[in-house]
Structure formats: structure tokens, C-alpha cells
Amino acid sequence: MSGLPHSPHALVTGGGRGIGRAIAESLASAGATVTIIGRNAAALEEAVNAGAAHFAAVADVANETALKAAIAEAHARKPIDILIANAGSAESAPFAKSDSALFARMMDINFMGVVHAIHGVLPGMKDRPYGRIVVIASTAGLKGYAYVSAYAAAKHAAVGLVRSLALELAGSNMTVNAVCPGFTDTDLVAGSIDNIMKKTGRSREQAVAELAKHNPQGRLIAPQEVADAVLWLCGQGSSAITGQAIAVAGGEI
């Protein structure tokens, strides 16, 4: 069997928009009960109303207390089998202008947010007959990019966590993997495009091309392409795949 087991409960952080919403909707379509967590209550509510998820909770992944409370509420509703640690944020600046506060923000959201989420689900998931943890990292977790040193450092940390935790849990029923998208057509990348336009005076088409040039296929990745990779990792046929950082990037990595 390669699909999901019967009606697992999947928790998706940052599930109200972009990649997270595409993942939530794919899991729901595959038969999972899906709970999404995020900071934007309106986006979460719209996703639930549209059928992309079944339940939602407002919490900032950088706030350990709030996130763990939201996870505990979801677990009480139905034990969690799948965690998709997707929530993230990106800021760009030359390293010389990247102060400690910027590094702290990137680590709090992109790395510690993953740590908090895993800590929240792991005790209950260990007792389940099946468990999947998928961290949405980035190609910035596998290589460097100029002007995003703090973001890249945080994503490298997330990938290191995945590889280490997978070894700790290798004797269990759980797998731990990362999916590393290249530049993806989301609100987050739209912000990067606006930043390029503002700083360089380039047109939107030129700004998109600046990002797309990293992809040998010459395009941005679609959120659904990332969701498809995640869905496969959550399936029963991927039980031998753990500790991996899979690039969805058109051959960039």
C-alpha cells in the first residue's frame, strides 16, 4: 500500500495560505482529518470554509506556549499522526546589515518553530501505529544564497534537526523528512519580488526572472508540486524513507 492509512489526523503549521494550504488540501483530499495552525485567523477560517482543512487554531509557532496549547487541543480532538512543520518567514539583507535581531527572528520562526511543533506532537505520536513528520525547509537549507544569510542558517538548522531526529526515531514507527522547495509561487516569494522591484527598479517580469533563473527549468515551483512530494512522504509506501532532505526545485540541487 502506498496511500495514507485510514483517516489519520494531520497537523499543518502555516496552513492558511501558500504551500501550507496546498499541503492541507492534498491531505484532506487523500482522506486525512486536517488541522491547520497559523497567525492569520481570517486566512485559516477561509481555508476551513473552502474545505482545505477541517479545523483551525490561531497560534504563532515562535510562541512555544501558544503553539503547544493549540497542538494539545488538536490532539485531544483526535490523536495526531502527521505533522507538517511548514510555517516560515524570510527576510533579506546583506550580512553586514543583518543584526542579531534579524537572526533571532529567522531562527525563532524557521527553526525553533519546528522544534516547538515536534516537541508538541512527539509524545502522543510515539504511541501511534504510524507517524510522519515532514519539515518544509528550503533549498536555502541545502546551499547558500546571497543576502539571506539568517534565513539560510535557520533552514540549514532545520535540515540538521531532521537528519538527527530521524536517526533517533529510526527504530520506531515514525519517519522524519524535509522537503526543500526552490523559489515557489507564494505570497512569501511575492514579497521577495516586490523587494527586488523596489531596490533595483526592475519590472515584475524581470524580478520573477531573477528568482526563476536559479531553477534549471526556468520557472517558479507551484505549491501543489511541493504538496505532492509531502503527500508521498506521508504515505505508507514511504516507510523506508527517513532523514532525507528532498529538493523540489527543478534540478537546482
Q: What is the pLDDT of residue 39?
A: 97
pLDDT digits (tens, 9 = 90+) for 34-53: 999 999 999 999 999 999 99
Structure pTM?
0.93
pLDDT per position as a tens digit, 199-235: 788 887 787 787 888 999 999 999 999 999 999 999 9
Q: Which residues contact 201 (CB under 8 A, 6 or more apart)?
A: none
Q: Which residue has the higher pLDDT, 1 or 177?
A: 177
pLDDT for residue 21: 98
List pLDDT tens digits, range 180-191.
Answer: 999 998 876 767
- What pLDDT shows up at residue 2? 63
pLDDT given at position 52:
98
In the 8-state DSSP scheme, what is residue 218? S
Q: What's the whole-number mean pLDDT along residues 47-65?
A: 98
Of 142, 131, 126, give the one whose Cα is nearest residue 179: 142
Residue type at 176 in one-letter notation: V
- Residue 1 reports pLDDT greater than 90: no
Locate 48 and state its grid cell.
476551513
pLDDT for the residue numbered 234: 98
Is pLDDT larger for residue 250 or for residue 192? Answer: 250
**239 phi and psi angles, rounded to 5 deg:** -65, -20
Contact 112, 105 (CB under 8 A): no
Note the pLDDT of residue 253.
86
pLDDT, residue 203, reads 80
Round to whole Å and give the CA distance between 2 and 240.
Answer: 12
The pLDDT of residue 17 = 95
pLDDT tens-digit readout, 138-173: 999 999 999 999 999 999 999 999 999 999 999 999
The C-alpha cell of 17 is what?
495560505
Burial class (CB in 10 A: 0-12, 13-18, 19+), 213: exposed
C-alpha cell at 74: 488538536
Q: Which of 130, 145, 147, 151 is catalytic?
A: 151
Question: Is 130 annotated in the active site?
Answer: no
The pLDDT assigned to 75 comes to: 98
Mean pLDDT of the chain: 94
Residue 175 has pLDDT above 70, yes or no: yes
Tens of pLDDT, residue by residue over 94-145, are 999 999 999 999 999 999 999 999 999 999 999 899 999 999 999 999 999 9
pLDDT value at position 197?
A: 81
Nearest to 249 by CA among 112, 176, 143: 143
Please tell me the distance from the alpha carbon of residue 95 to that of residue 135, in angstroms, as a whole number: 26
- Our CA dihedral for 16, 20, 25, 29, rounded to 10 degrees, sits at -150
